[in-house]
Amino acid sequence: MTHPQTARFAGHAVLITGAGRGIGAATARRFAAEGAQVLVTDADLGRATATAADLKSALALRCDVSDRASVEAAVAYAVAEFGRLDILVNNAHSCHPDTPLLEDQGDEEWARDLDVSLTGAFRCARAALPFLAASGRGAIVSIGSVNGEQDFGNHAYSAAKAGLASLTRTLAGDAAPRGVRVNLVQPGTVRTPGWDGREAHLDRLARVYPLGRVGEPEDIAAAVAFLASADASWITGTTLRVDGGLLAVNTVFQQAVNDN
């Protein structure tokens, strides 16, 4: 997938969590291609380093969003290296599979998914906000999920993503007086490394998407870049669906009605 090689983010400094692969890595590539300096962070330093190595004006750092000190160190590192921080992308997440019965679900897995996917975004926003406000063009874009709006399984992950959509709205109101915009991208199924070895599943899932395919990481990166850019300067507190029409059109129902 190609996109215009513009300098829309020249002079911008961006911090992305969970950027070692998948959506986070694609987002790092997109910002770098448009002129930004990018701090690629991930709990796996090897993955972060591999992503940053292919980009110009990019650095890698290990960041565990479940640890306040790690988050604050990442923000401080970005500001020290780049001299500023303009954009925060909250992409890090955790998703444990559901147990067959809800009563078999352990507290640890539930807590981990909420801590990384929801509280981790709060920790990052808390640490970054003073610097985003100082930049004069600060933006936070978080990666949600259609799971936060409709039942697609994964109780804890879904609850965390629903909470992240709410946090986006409340944080947008809190940050607006300081000139910082806060928005959420809500993806459907995206072809990330988490689906490796299950390509047949993706082929079947593509049939329920009105646009006839699952998403690619670059689809989400393009939406993140838009919401972070000056093109979206009057947009805050919004959730942007990037889901191939999944939530708008009940393809399975239509097929059942029309089935002869």
The residues carrying an active-site annotation are 157, 161
HSE at residue 257, side-chain half, CA atoms within 13 A, is 5
How far apart are alpha carbons 228 and 108 in whole angstroms? Answer: 34
Residues paired with residue 13 on neighbouring β-strands, in sequence order: 37
Write out the two tokens for 62.
Answer: 């290990």
Q: Which of 187, 185, 186, 180 is nearest to 236 (CA)?
A: 180
Residues paired with residue 218 on neighbouring β-strands, in sequence order: none
How far apart are alpha carbons 178 and 208 in whole angstroms? Answer: 42
Residue 115 DSSP code: I
User: Contact at 8 Å (CB) between 141 and 185?
Assistant: yes
CB atoms within 10 A of CB 102: 8
Write out the two tokens for 195.
Answer: 């689906």
Write out the two tokens for 66.
Answer: 């479940």
Residues paired with residue 88 on neighbouring β-strands, in sequence order: 15, 140
| Number of DSSP helices (H) and strands (E) in the chain, helices first | 9, 7
HSE at residue 246, side-chain half, CA atoms within 13 A, is 25
The two beta strands, 58-62 and 37-42, are parallel
